[in-house]
Structure 1
C-alpha cells in the first residue's frame, strides 16, 4: 500500500509516524525525506548486517533512516517459519512517510521546549530540588539538541547559568551563613563547596552527551567538571568584585593550624583535612594558601623559640622535639603538600636550631645533661642538630666534658680503689650515649678516645698522687687482678652487658655475652681499652707482675682460661717483650709440678719414711718473678726437716744453683682442736708458726703468750708480727683471744687460744693480712719503676747515638721520647739529666750545639 508524502527541508523528523499491521506476515516501517519507492531489498538476508536499535522507538527510527537512506524496510523474523507460503514469500507491509509541512514547526517547538526543560532543571538543581522531568529524559533532550547542531549555544547557556548562580546565590549564601570569625567563613565556604560538588555532579550526568560529544574534542571550551571548578575558584576565591570570602577562608585554615599548635579546643581536624583537599581540587593550594601558611608558621616558630629560650636546655630540646613531631604529623595527616612540609620544616630548623645554636651547644648545659645521663635528651639534641647538619659542633663540648669528668675521677685520692670501676662506668655511659643517642657516630667515638688519652696521661694525676709515675696504670692492674681472682661477682651491674650488647656480639660472630666466660672476657677487653690510653705501661707491668705472682703462688685465680686469655691479649697489644717474664712465670709453675713429682719419687727410692707433712715447693726464676724481701722465721722442727731434705735433693740434682726460701709467700693447712670440734685452718706460714707456738703451753693452767714471747720464738718482728697477730685475734675469724681487747696490737698484749671458736665450715680460711700490699711497698714499686725508666732512657740515648754518631740536643730528645713513650713518658728535663750522666761516663761529648758518640 503506497501513499505520497512530503518531507520538510531541514532533515529527518525527530517525531516520526509509526504504524503497525495486524495481519500475518512481516511488518515494515518506512521513514524517508522523499516519496517512498518500492524496493525488493530486505534486511533479513544472511549477508546484511542488522542495525542496532535504540530503546526509544522514535530515536531508533530516526537513526535507521540515516542507515537506509531513501527507504527502510523492517522484516519481522521473530515468528518461526511455516510451510504455508501463498505468495511464495513473506508478507510485506509498506508504510510511506506521511509528513506534512506543519511538522517543521513541531520540531522547532520540540527544541524550544527541550531547552526550557533543561533551564528549569538547572534551576531546580541550583535550588537543591529534584528536576520535574526525569534525568533520563533530560539526557535525551541534551542529545537531541546536540544532534540538532546547537551544542555551542547549549554550553554557553549552561556556563552562564552556573556563573550567575555562583556569583549571586552562592556568594550571598556564604556571606549570610558566615559569622564574624575566619573559622566560620571557612566552614561556610566548605559547606557550599560540598553542595556545589553535588550539584555539578548532577549537572554532569544530565549534560553528559554534551561533555562527551562536543567538549571532549573542542579545545576552546572546558569540560563541565573543569568549568564548575574554575567558576567556583574564580568567583569565590579570586574575584575582587563585591564580597570575596576567599581571603578569610584561607585565614581560617591558618587559624585552625594555630589552634592545633596551641592546644585550643576549637580545633576541628575534619574541617582542616577537608579544606586542604578542597584547595587541592580548586588548584589554589600552592599559589594562594601555601605562602600565607608558611608566613604564619614562621611567626609561630619565632614566638615559640623566644618563649622557650629562657627555659633550661633540656626543656628547650623537649619542646622543639615535640613541636617538630607535631608539625610532621600534621602535614601527613591533613593532606599538606610535600613541598609545604619541606619548606615549613626547613624554616623550623633554621629558626629553632640555627638561630639558637649557642644555647643548644652551651657547654655547661650539655655537661649537666651528660652528668644526669639523660640519654633521651641527648638523642633529641643530636637529632635536632643533625636536622641542620651542625651535629659535628657537638664534639667540642662533648670532649671537654669527658676531660673534665675524667680528670675529677683520676685525681680523687680519697677513692683511689674505685678509680678504675668509676672510669669504666663512665666509659660505659659514654659508649651507651654514642650507641643510643649519637647513632653510633664514629667521630664522637674518636673524640672520646682522644679525651681519655688526654686526662689519663695528664701530669696533674701524678702530682696529685705524688707517685712520679702513672697511678692509673697501677689501678688498672689491680682491677684486672680483682677480675681474675673474683670473676664477675666483684663487678657492679652497671658494667655488665645488656640486650643490645648481646645482639651486637652475635652479629659480629663473637660468643654470646650472656655466657659467664664470654662476659668475663668482655670485661677484660674493657679494662684493656683503658690500658691502651696509658703512656706509662711499665707501671702497669710492674703491678700486674706482682699480682699475677700472688695469684699463681696462692692458687687464687678464678679461671686458668681467663689467665691465659689475658696473657694473650697483652702479648697482642704490647708484643712478646712485654709478656716474656709473665710467660716464664707460667712455665715455672709447670716445672715446679714436675719437680715435686720427681722429688716424691726420689724420697720413696731412698727409703725416707713417709711424713704426715705434705710439702709442696714452687721453684721460681729470680729474673722472671718479682723480688721479695728475705725474712727470718723459726720453723717447726718437722717443717724444717722436710725443707732441708728437699734442698739436699735439689742441689744434688742441679749443681751450681742456690735456693732462697721466701717464707712470706708460703701458706699451709693447719689442724686445730676446739671445744666444739676440730677445724682445718687455711693460713700463711707466719700465721702457722704463731699458732704452733701455743702447742708448747697447751698443758699450762694460764695458757697465754705475751707479745714478746711470740716475737722471740717465731723470729718475727715489727709490722710482720703485728699484722699476723691482728689477723688471728682481731679479724672476723678469731682463733686467738687478745687481752686487752682492741683492733690494734701492742707490745704489752697477751694472747691465748680461743677454745670456744665455732664456724659452720670445717675448713676455715683466715685472712692473710701480711700478704696485702702496704703503702710503703706501693711507693717502693713506683720508685723502682721510675729508676728503671732512667736506665731505659740512658740505654735509648746510647742506642740512638751509636747509630747516628752526631745529633743536636732537640733531635736527640725527640728521638728518645719517641722510643720510650710505649714504656712511659719521660720529661725532657729528665732526658737532659741522663745525657749529662752519660757525658760524665764518657759515652758522649759536646761539640758546639750537638752531641757526639764516643766509641
Structure 2
C-alpha cells in the first residue's frame, strides 16, 4: 500500500474528530466545566481540515466541509440558542440576546480558524461567501429575523421609560443596538429599517402628546425651556446608546413636533409670546427662542418679522411723542422745539443701540435680523417730525454737537461715539442728499462764524460720512474745511503785505476769508452801498489779491460779514458786534439824526426783506439802538428811525443778533434742482450703454443707480424723460411708445 492511500481520511471519520472540537467549544460557551483549547488541540483540528481539503479527488471534501461548517451553527442555534431566547421577555430577553450574540461571535472566530484552509483556497476560487460571513448570516437568518421586532419593541419601551424619568440600563441598550448595526456587516439597512424607523415614529408620537399638553398649560418661555431640555436629552441619548447617524433624524423629529407644529401658537402667545418678550426685554428667553427656531426650516422668519414690527412700533411711538411735544410747544419759543428734536434724535440713537445689541447678542448676528432692523428703521426714520425731515433733524443734531456752546456737553470720546451713531442712522435715511445740503449749510455757518468747537471732530465725521456714502458725498465739505486753512494762510500773508506797504493801510483791522465758490453753499450777493470807511478796505484787499493771482474774480458776500463798531451813547461808549449790514445801517446815523425807512433802503441799496430784518434787530429786539416811530413791534415802510443816544447796558461789549434767514426752503429747492440734474445724467448714462430700453426697465435702473443718495420719484423720472426727448437726447420708438432709443 502506498503512503498516501493509507493516510486518506474519509469524511465521517474526519468529521467525528471535528465534532469533538465543536462540542468542546459549545461547552466552553455554555459555561460548562471544560478545559480551554491548547495549541496542540488547535493544530490538530486545523490540520485535519487541511488534510481533508488537500486529498486527491474524490477525497477532496472541501464542499462538504463548507456545508458542515454552516450546519454546525444552524444546529447549535436551533437546539440551544433559540429556545433560551424564546422563553425570556423584555429586559431579560435583551440580556440573553446580548450574551448569545457575543458567544456567537466567539464561535465564529474559533470555527473560522479551524476551517481556515477553506477560506484561503476553496472559497476564493469559487467566489463563495467567506466563513465569517456565513457564520454571521446564520445568526441573522435564524435568530435576528425571528426576534428583531420583539427586540425593537422592548428597546423602544425602555427608551420611553427613560423619557419619563426612570433609570434604565443604558449599556444594555448600547449592546443590543450594536447587534442591529453589526448584523448589517458594514451596511446600515438593518439598523435603519428594523429599528430606527420605528424609533422615529415613536419619538414623534411621544413628543406630539407632550407638546399638545404643554402648549395649553405653559407660557412661551416655560415651553421653550422644556423643548430645549428635551433636545438636550435626545442628543445625550444618541451619545450613550443610539448610532451617531440617528442624531440629525431624531432631533428633526423632536424639533418638528415641539417647534414646527406649534411655532405660530408659541410665538403669538398672548402674554408671553415673542412680542411680550421683546416688550419686557427678556434677553435670555429671546436668545433661547433664536437658538430653537434657527434649527427648524425657515423658523426664524416669523421671529424676525415680529422683531421688525416691534422695532417699527417703538420707533413710531418716538415719532408720535416728538410730534405731540412739538405741537404743544408751537406756542412757545422755537428753540424749545429745537431741544425737543434733539431729544428725539437722542432717543432714536438709544433705540438703535438697544436693538443692535439684541441683533448681536440674542440673535447671534443673523443677517435676517440685521435686515429686519434696517427695514424697521427705514420705515420710521423717514417720517420726520413737526414739518422737519429726518435729514434736517440729523444735520441739526450734528451741528449742536459740533458747534461751540451746543446744547450737548460731551467728552471727546462721547462726541466721537455719538457722531459714529448718527452716521449709522443716516444709512436708513432715503434723502441722503438733503442731509448733505443741510449739513453743508450748517458746516458753513460753523466755519465762517468761528463756531466750530473742534477741527478734529469736524474732519472725523467727514471721514465717517465718506465711508458710509462715498467720496462724492463729502468732497465739497472736505473742500470747505481745507478752504478755511488756506484762508488763514491768506490772511497771514495779507497782514505781512500791509506791514510792508505802510501806505496801503485800510485804516481798520480787516480780516478777509477767501473761499472757493464750488465748495460752499450759494449765497445771494447784493451790491450793498458800503460805508466810505469800508470801501477803502475792499480796495486795499483787491490790490493785495491781484499781486497773488490775476485770473481770479473776487465776489464779496457782505451778508456773511461781521463788524465791531463803537457806539458813543451819552451814558457810556459800548462796543457793538454786528453784521456788515447792521453796521452799514448804523453808520448812516453818523451824518443824520433821523432817517425814514425809504431813505435807509435807498442809501443801503438792499431788498425789502433784508431791510425789515435789519431794522427790526436794531429797534424792536433786545437791544434798542434805534428808536422807531411809531413804537410798534413790527417794521413797516412808513416808519421813521433815530439814533437812541440814551441807550446803555451793563456790558462793555454786546452782540446784536440778526436772526438767520430760515434756509429750509432754499435748501429744499437747491436739492430739487440737483436731483433733476442727477436724474438726467443717470438716464443718459443708462441709455448710452443700452441704446434701446423699455420704460419700466429704464425707471428701475435709474432708481437703483440713484438710490444711494435719494429715492427718486417715478413721476420726476417720467418728467425728465419727456424733457430729454424734447432736447433730442432720446426718442420714442415709432411702433411702441414705451420703448426709448438713445440719440447720440
> TM-score surpassing 0.5?
yes
For structure 1, list consecutive stretches of 5 or more residues without a partner in the other structure: 1-5, 15-103, 497-519, 629-642, 667-682, 687-714, 722-749, 754-767, 801-813, 829-855
Aligned-partner Cα distance in 2 for 1:618–1:134: 116
Please point out which of 170, 194, 199 is paired with 2:81: 170
Q: CA deviation at 1:644?
A: 11
- What corresponds to 2:394 in structure 1? 475
Q: CA deviation at 1:120?
A: 3.9
Measured at CA, do residues 209 and 361 of structure 1 come closer, stay the same or move farther in structure 2, by a change above 3 Å? Answer: same
Q: CA deviation at 1:350?
A: 3.6
- What corresponds to 1:11 in structure 2? 5
1:566-596 C-alpha deviation (Å, 9 max, x unpaired) = 2894799599799769956863664365336
1:671-709 C-alpha deviation (Å, 9 max, x unpaired) = xxxxxxxxxxxx9969xxxxxxxxxxxxxxxxxxxxxxx
More helix by share: 2
- What corresponds to 1:272 in structure 2? 173
Please point out which of 401, 415, 427 is paired with 1:529: 427
Please point out which of 148, 151, 157 is paired with 1:249: 151
Cα pair 1:120 1:131 within 8 Å, conserved: no
Please point out which of 785, 791, 794 is paired with 2:664: 785
Q: CA deviation at 1:353?
A: 3.9
Cα pair 1:535 1:824 within 8 Å, conserved: yes
Aligned-partner Cα distance in 2 for 1:138–1:825: 94
1:452-481 C-alpha deviation (Å, 9 max, x unpaired) = 3322223xx43xx3x3x3155223432365
Aligned-partner Cα distance in 1 for 2:222–2:479: 57
Please point out which of 129, 136, 140 is paired with 1:229: 136
Q: TM-score, normalised by structure 1?
A: 0.52
For structure 2, list consecutive stretches of 5 or more residues without a partner in the other structure: 53-58, 185-189, 326-339, 525-530, 544-554, 566-574, 579-617, 625-648, 680-698, 716-744
Q: CA deviation at 1:793?
A: 7.4
Aligned-partner Cα distance in 1 for 2:498–2:559: 21
Matched residue pairs, number? 565
SS of alignment partner, residue 208 of structure 2: helix
1:127 matched to 2:34: no
Aligned-partner Cα distance in 2 for 1:769–1:825: 44
Aligned-partner Cα distance in 2 for 1:276–1:571: 60
1:408 matched to 2:327: no
1:201 matched to 2:109: yes
Cα pair 1:215 1:223 within 8 Å, conserved: yes
Aligned-partner Cα distance in 2 for 1:206–1:796: 95
1:289 matched to 2:195: yes
1:366 matched to 2:269: no
- What corresponds to 2:491 in structure 1? 595
Aligned-partner Cα distance in 2 for 1:826–1:215: 84
Measured at CA, do residues 446 and 250 of structure 1 come closer, stay the same or move farther in structure 2, by a change above 3 Å? Answer: closer
Aligned-partner Cα distance in 1 for 2:121–2:556: 121
Cα pair 1:375 1:436 within 8 Å, conserved: no
1:734-793 C-alpha deviation (Å, 9 max, x unpaired) = xxxxxxxxxxxxxxxx9899xxxxxxxxxxxxxx9999x9xx98xx74xx5247647987
- What corresponds to 1:453 in structure 2? 378
- What corresponds to 2:740 in structure 1? none
Q: CA deviation at 1:117?
A: 2.8
Aligned-partner Cα distance in 1 for 2:76–2:208: 44
Q: CA deviation at 1:388?
A: 1.6
Q: CA deviation at 1:292?
A: 1.9
1:102-136 C-alpha deviation (Å, 9 max, x unpaired) = xx9xx899648625633542442343354577453
Aligned-partner Cα distance in 2 for 1:579–1:214: 90
SS of alignment partner, residue 554 of structure 1: coil
Q: Describe how 1:33-52 pairs up with structure 2 within 5 A.
A: none
- What corresponds to 1:399 in structure 2? 308
- What corresponds to 2:211 in structure 1? 305
Aligned-partner Cα distance in 1 for 2:453–2:347: 24
Measured at CA, do residues 224 and 617 of structure 1 come closer, stay the same or move farther in structure 2, by a change above 3 Å? Answer: same
Cα pair 2:484 2:513 within 8 Å, conserved: yes
SS of alignment partner, residue 412 of structure 1: helix
Please point out which of 40, 60, 63 is paired with 1:136: 40
Please point out which of 178, 191, 198 is paired with 2:99: 191
Measured at CA, do residues 524 and 484 of structure 1 come closer, stay the same or move farther in structure 2, by a change above 3 Å? Answer: farther
1:336 matched to 2:243: yes
Q: CA deviation at 1:418?
A: 3.6
Cα pair 2:85 2:93 within 8 Å, conserved: yes
1:164-209 C-alpha deviation (Å, 9 max, x unpaired) = 4434433454567x6x6x3443233213322332343333333434
Cα pair 1:375 1:437 within 8 Å, conserved: yes
Aligned-partner Cα distance in 2 for 1:536–1:133: 92
Q: CA deviation at 1:662?
A: 6.4
- What corresponds to 1:347 in structure 2? 253
Measured at CA, do residues 652 and 113 of structure 1 come closer, stay the same or move farther in structure 2, by a change above 3 Å? Answer: closer
Q: CA deviation at 1:357?
A: 3.4
Cα pair 2:215 2:266 within 8 Å, conserved: no
Measured at CA, do residues 158 and 472 of structure 1 come closer, stay the same or move farther in structure 2, by a change above 3 Å? Answer: same
Q: CA deviation at 1:562?
A: 4.1
Aligned-partner Cα distance in 2 for 1:490–1:363: 46
Cα pair 2:391 2:432 within 8 Å, conserved: no
SS of alignment partner, residue 5 of structure 2: coil
Measured at CA, do residues 223 and 192 of structure 1 come closer, stay the same or move farther in structure 2, by a change above 3 Å? Answer: same
Cα pair 1:478 1:547 within 8 Å, conserved: no
Measured at CA, do residues 354 and 478 of structure 1 come closer, stay the same or move farther in structure 2, by a change above 3 Å? Answer: same
SS of alignment partner, residue 411 of structure 1: helix
Larger-Rg structure: 1
SS of alignment partner, residue 167 of structure 2: coil
Q: TM-score, normalised by structure 2?
A: 0.58
Q: Describe how 1:145-164 pairs up with structure 2 within 5 A.
A: 147-148=51-52, 149=59, 150=61, 159-164=70-75
SS of alignment partner, residue 550 of structure 1: helix
Measured at CA, do residues 396 and 664 of structure 1 come closer, stay the same or move farther in structure 2, by a change above 3 Å? Answer: farther
What is the aligned-residue RMSD (CA, Å)?
5.8
Q: CA deviation at 1:289?
A: 1.2
Cα pair 2:98 2:176 within 8 Å, conserved: yes
Q: Describe how 1:712-727 pairs up with structure 2 within 5 A.
A: none
Q: CA deviation at 1:230?
A: 3.1
Aligned-partner Cα distance in 1 for 2:577–2:475: 30
